[in-house]
Every structure is written in C-alpha cells, then in structure tokens.
Structure 1
Amino acid sequence: MDNRSVLISGAGIAGSTLAYWLHRFGFRPTVVERAPVLRTGGHAVDIRGTARRVAELTGIVPLVRRAHTGAYGMAFVDRDGRPVAKMGTDVFGDSGGPIAEMAILRSDLARILYDTTRDDVEYVFGDSITAVEQDEDGIRVGFEKGGSRRFDLLVGADGVHSNVRRLVFGPHERYIHDLGCYGALYSITTDLDLGGWQLMYTMPAGGGRPGRTAALSPKREPGQARAGFFLRSEPLRFDRRDTEAQKRVVLRAFEGEGWEIPRMLSGIGDADDFYFDRIAQVRVGTWARHRTVLLGDAAYCASPMSGIGTSLALVGAYLLAGELAAADGRHGPAYAVYEHRMRGFTEQAHEFARGAGGGGLMPDSPAQLWLRNQTVRMLPYLPKGLVGRGMDRLANMVRLPDYAALEHR
C-alpha cells in the first residue's frame, strides 16, 4: 500500500474518527492538535441517520449513550418560564428533532474517540503546523515548536478556521460565508429543574436590539446546566482568543432581560469553558490540493446551529479512510471518490442550514416570533417528510460502502 503515513491536523470529532479508521485499514496516522489538551465545553452535537451506523462500526455507541446530554426535547418558553411550544426528539422522524435521540457534548464525543484511538495513534498536543511543502513523493510539514517532519499525506480536520486550509488553499475570507449572527455557550450552576428539556427564551427585535434567544440546557451532573446565547449582529472587531472581550459582547447584548437571563449572566465571569464564535458556513470548491485534503468543518461546515455538522464529520471521515484503503493509498483517486460521495450531502446540508435558526431563534418582529410558535405547535401533526424540510432524508442520503474486506490488508 502506498502513502501509509498520514498527518491529521485537529483532534476533534472528524480528525479522531479518521485516525481510527486509517489505523484499522493499515495506515500510520499522526494527529497534531494546537490545544495543549483536549478541549472542554462547547455545544451539544447530534448523531443522525447514516452517522449512527458509522458510530456503530466504530464501536462507540454504548459510550455515546452513557454520555447523553440529558436533554430529550426543546421547549420554547415565555418571560415567566411557561412553555409556549415544544419539540420532542422524534419530530423530524428517525433522525430525531432539533435535539437528536443520540445527543452528546462535542467535548465528550471527542474524548470518547480519543480514548478509543490513543493506544494505536500518535497524538501531538500543544503544537500546530506552520509550513507545508508538497512534492511528488510526499509532504514536509513545519511545526510551531520547531523542526519538521515528512509525511505521505496531510488532512486538515481543524475546524472552521482551519490552519491547513489557510496554508494550502489560501485566506479564510475565500471560504467562510457569514450567516449574520453569533453564538455563545458555557456551563453554569442552577437550581432550576429542567426536566430533560432544553429551554429557549426568544426575544424579537425591537427597541434598537436585534432578535435574540437565551437557552438553558440540562447536563448529566445534578445542579449543572449549559447557558446559551444567540444574537443577530454585524461582524464585531475583537481578538478571537480574547475571551473577556467576547463575554462583554454577551453581557451587553442580554443585560436587562427577564426569564433566567440575569442568573445565567451572573455565571459568565467564572466560566472556564466559554465558547463564542461567529455563525458561518465553509464552502470550498474542491477539497483536495495535491497530497492535502480537507475534512469536516474545515471543508464543509454547514453551521453550528444546523444539527447536521457532526454527522457530516463522522460520515466524511469513514468515507475518506475507506476510499484511501480501497485505492491502496493512491491519494488522487481516493480524494476524488471521497468528494464525489460527500458533495451532495454537504450541499444539501448547507441549504438546510441557511434556513435553520435565523427567523426561529432571532426573529425580526413579534409577528415572526408568533409564527414560529404556531409552526412548532403544528409539527407533530405534519408528515415527517415535510417537517424540518426533510432532516431525516438529509441525514440518511449517503449510502455507506462496506470496507470491511480492506482492513489491514
């Protein structure tokens, strides 16, 4: 087999899943991660449709189920906390509602995948790629901490702000498409009994403020919850690594509001797992350049609010590893088939995500908020194929090849 040494940038869901399958197919994967340890916090993610089969084949389903977020539905509430509309996990059909039947914190899933692979895969934490030189025989990669190493192939699985994509494909501005809003998440303590529901309090635009939503989601630990905030906004200027500046953005946007917001904001200063980012999509014309290929959010992020991003990552990692094995490591044909199998899925996911969240979570008027609530109330009575513009069809649109015969050949 050719091209057996593969460097993967990013120890997240896509990168660790790819490392697992590459090892099973006889490759030698190395994973480099900028963070000094696995990242904590972040949002809950959903495993839907075909991605559930990937999770089964990877052997992680029992662990995923044990790490379930504890949220089994979404309830929109008014200022006094009274439910005005609800959605359960079955509202979209087999793949679940806005919270899927297999829901887990992103950091928990990344930890499960890391623990599954750590004995067989080389992980390098606290370092990042600074230079990439590709030639006919391989790739020389320079590292931030000094020195360089040579690999056969390079995979950028390092997220929306992918370092590999910037070095090999060009500036981020070419590929990141803004969706006009921000999201923030962090852990808090609470004595509120959420009863297994993710509570959403939405404020329509008015009084010079944009549409916004505050969310409170249960965690497995008693007395713990995740606070979430979503707001429309023009792009703001601040250092992406300046957490305190990001916290001030959230405080200004939601100060003076009712419901549980004052208590949620009171915990923001002490939050050590605070996450804040611009909601955006990634669209790349082709995902491969010579020996380098992109995977997951680095190639085709749909939106953190779409509910389909983790499924894209799991399915994409399985297909990329399988096609490299099927092609005996010949990266050109393998990359082409991987992209062919995934392209329709990603394009449909992008289309789905462009309509997700916006008017529902950040309405421009009270009338739009009223319409959102009425629509949610009607969902249980509609055909599953129409609900959510066909989430179940989208999540199951990729047919997985059986690569079992290729293991360690």
Structure 2
Amino acid sequence: MPLSILIVGCSIAGPALASFLQLAPFADDGRPRITVVERSPAVRPQGQNVDIRGIGVSLLDRLGIAAAVKASTTGEAGVQWVSADNRVWCEFGSASDSKTQRHNPTSDIEILRGRMAQILYRRSLNITDENAVEYVFDDYLDDIRQDDDKVTVHFSKSGEHRTFDLVVGADGLQSTTRSMAWGTAKEADVVHPLGMYAAFFSMPRDESQGDNAYRRSFHTHGRRMMSIRPDQQNGRSTALLTVMGEGKDGRSSSRFRAAAERGATVASQKDLLQKTFADAGWQQTSRILREMQATDDFYFSMVAQVRMPCWHKGRVVLLGDAAHCASHLSGMGTTLAMLGAYSLAGALAAHPHDVETALTAYEDAVRPHVSKAQKLMTGIMRIFMPETAWGVWLVDTTIRFLVWTRVFVLLMRFKGPDTEPDALPEYGLAQPPKYKE
C-alpha cells in the first residue's frame, strides 16, 4: 500500500516536500498520496526577504525552478549604511560582486518569502499530469492521535477526522503540530528566543526618498534597526524593523513576546512598533511608520531558534523551521527547509515500508547542516544593536574599518553556514518537467 502523507503548512518546506515526493523513486504502484493543509485561505504573501545559498541553489535545479526563482529576485545590489539624515556613509556590494564573491550580507539569490512559496506551490501542482497533491486551504488541525502505524487527525473547521501513515509538521517556528505531538509543556524547552523581534511589510517605492537597488540600513540607540530594501518584481520597497526586547527605556520583553504569539492582533503589533520606533531619529522614520499603518501585508515575529534532540515522534515528523529554526540571522532557513524536504522524500523512497528507518535517515542527513547553521557569533545582536549613542558610534566606526580593510569579506567567508553544492546526497530523483507559472 502506498504511504498516505499529510503535510501541515504551505510555505517553503511543505510544498517543497510535496514536489520532491513526486520526483522520488517510489515504485509506480507505491507513489505516496499527498495532502497539504494550510491555515490561510491561500498561499500567504507575507514574509521578509529570504536567501538561497550554497546547496540550496542545487536544490532549485533538482526541482526545475532555478530560472523562475532567479527571475523573481528582489534585485538587491548590496547594503548601504546610512546616517540620520539619510546620507550613505558605508557601502558593501552584493554576492554577485566578483570582488566579494558570495560571502557578504546580500545573497546572490534574494527573494521574498511569499513569492518563493508561490513558486514552490505551483511546482508541486505541475510535476505530473494527474492531481497528485490535495491542498486543503483555510483549515487546520486541532488534534493529533497516533498508534503504532497510523495517525488520526481532526480538521478544526471541517470537523473531519482523517487517518494518515505519516504527518509532517512544516508549520514554522510556532508549530502547532509540534506542540500537539510533543505537548505544550515542551515548547519552552525547544524554542529558544534570541531576544530580538522583527516586523516586515511592503510600501510604495519612492526614489525621491532615496529608494534604490541597495538595502539601506539605519541603526540607533535603544537596540533598534530599520532597513528599506528593494522589491524590483513589484516595483515597491520593503521595510524591516528589528528591535531587542529589553532596553533601558523600560521596554519589556514579555510585551514583545505576547505580541508575537499566534493570537495577537495586527493592530496591537503595529501599535507596539509605532511607540517603539517613534523617536528612532532616521529621516525615513515617519514615512516607514505611516506606511506600516497602511500596509496589508504586515508580518511580525520573534527571532528564535528551535533546538530538538529528535525531530520525529512515532509517525509525526517535523520539517524546516518547525524542527530546527536557525533564525533569519543565519541566512540559511530556506536552504535548510528545502534540504530537509529533499532528504525526507529520498529517505521515504528508500525505506517505504519502514517509516522509522526513513525518519532516522532523514535526521542523520540534515542535522550536521543544521548544527552548523545554528552556530551564531556570540553576542552578535547586542554588538550590532547597541543600547547607547556611544555604542552606535563605536559600531559605525568598526563597520567602516571592516569594510575599508576588506576584513568583512574574511569574516563572512568563515561565518560557517554556507554549505557547498557537492555535499548534496543522491537519492535517484527523476528529472522534473519544465516549470509552468
């Protein structure tokens, strides 16, 4: 009997797994039956820029979507650090810059998360002529029960009970699959907040305000940073606001943590950021906050890592950020999600009648890459997001020195997360058909 597989989440890891499962070398009469459930009514457009590096580029080729992804990049040319009056005082080129190669803050493949999710979703639908993947939008699971070889789930909105051979939680940092299968009491043990919170949204492009092909970054006292980034695909700009949850101004990390919980309202999140950044001092501050209030693609989240000793429990397995979020500071989240999807599909095809062995093989293949990506420089956030004006001056001076001497290139070269394409294991996946939008 072919495996029946339920994937929870339609962002990056979920549709990537649905695609790789169709390409994996299962016997013709043993091709898995795939269902994907997504809480939102459609593929969500929200989410910040994501990077695809090293081994991730090879995975795009394995899916046949490299051209579509490269044609959908944000067009970011590099990073400019700006002063309060919006003057550029330091600049660093993109990963395509032959002098810096790919070891710098801007990846050679930089794409909005929503656009990447859309491409992966469409890829999963046009690999075969038949309707190989069932998508269930606007619903979610509120119960998971399992025995030795089956998992029974309950769909909250439809009220339907369904049984699967395997449930894959690909539902992100605040995974409800993880909390239901492992228990909510375990969440504090596996989710490790890094003390930072981030908001992302799009806004109209305005060249008269300095919007260009570079990411403009401004940091100020109180451990706050603001960035405006290009989105050439949509002719817009995107804003990223980051802040440490505690400060001398009496800022409370608990308030930020509550705002990042799943049930928090967008209005309350915007209000918190409005008050937090009102006195940031950048010439662009009032514009950014005004556009934040008007935008409909606002996204707010805590920055955290997920660290677990085992990513599966019985017939429930976690994938992507739900299993091993490395945080956006690593620049490797999307690459790791696709690598996990590729490895899980390959392991299941190699052991279709022994799910436990397949899940163990999947973890063995991916965990070394995760361990490497999760190694962040100690104190990096507090160093680059100082509390005082004196600290801001010191950081600015240090950045100028590192860029001028090109020491920054060496630091990025040895930062650790990049994984080379030749490390990709072979599972005998079929060649994908041409991608259709």
TM-score, scaled relative to structure 2 = 0.85
SS class of match (1:178):
strand
1:390 positional shift: 2.1
The correspondence for 1:133, drawn from 142, 145, 155, is: 145
Structure 1 counterpart of 2:42: 37
* Alpha-carbon contact 2:37-2:139 (below 8 Å) kept: yes
1:306 positional shift: 2.4
1:162 positional shift: 0.5
* Alpha-carbon contact 1:42-1:105 (below 8 Å) kept: yes
SS class of match (2:80):
strand
**Alignment partner of 1:336 is 2:351:** no
SS class of match (2:73):
coil
Query: After TM superposition, what 4+ stretches of structure 1 lie above 6 angstroms from structure 2?
Result: none
The correspondence for 2:79, drawn from 74, 84, 107, is: 74
1:305 positional shift: 2.9
SS class of match (2:374):
helix
Structure 2 counterpart of 1:207: none
Paired AA for residue 254 in structure 1: F
Q: How far apart, in 2, do the equivalents of 1:96 and 1:113 lie? A: 26
The correspondence for 2:164, drawn from 135, 147, 151, is: 151
Structure 1 counterpart of 2:193: 178
Structure 2 counterpart of 1:21: 20
1:371 positional shift: 4.2
Structure 2 counterpart of 1:103: 110
Aligned residue pairs, count: 401
C-alpha distance after superposition, 1:79-106 (max 9, x if no partner): 1111222222238965442120000000
Map 1:233-312 to 2 at 5 A. 233=245, 234-236=253-255, 237-238=258-259, 240=262, 241-256=264-279, 257-312=281-336
* Alpha-carbon contact 1:306-1:356 (below 8 Å) kept: no
1:354 positional shift: 5.9
Q: How far apart, in 2, do the equivalents of 1:196 and 1:3 lie? A: 49
Structure 2 counterpart of 1:196: 213
* Alpha-carbon contact 1:49-1:95 (below 8 Å) kept: no
The correspondence for 1:313, drawn from 322, 328, 337, is: 337
Task: Tell me which moved more, 13-22 or 232-241.
Answer: 232-241
1:45 positional shift: 0.1
Q: Percent identity?
A: 34
Q: How far apart, in 1, do the equivalents of 2:217 and 2:367 lie? A: 33
1:68 positional shift: 0.6
Q: How far apart, in 2, do the equivalents of 1:248 and 1:15 lie? A: 32
RMSD: 2.4
Task: Tell me which moved more, 273-282 or 171-180.
Answer: 171-180
SS class of match (2:330):
coil
Paired AA for residue 70 in structure 2: R
Task: Tell me which moved more, 81-90 or 273-282.
Answer: 81-90
Paired AA for residue 213 in structure 2: G
C-alpha distance after superposition, 1:325-352 (max 9, x if no partner): 1123421111112111221211221112
C-alpha distance after superposition, 1:239-276 (max 9, x if no partner): 64300000011100111333211111111222100001
Gaps of 5+ in 2: 25-30, 127-131, 246-252, 433-437
Paired AA for residue 298 in structure 1: A
Paired AA for residue 62 in structure 1: A
* Alpha-carbon contact 2:86-2:282 (below 8 Å) kept: no
Q: How far apart, in 2, do the equivalents of 1:353 and 1:36 lie? A: 39
Gaps of 5+ in 1: 205-209
The correspondence for 1:400, drawn from 424, 432, 437, is: 424
* Alpha-carbon contact 1:18-1:318 (below 8 Å) kept: yes
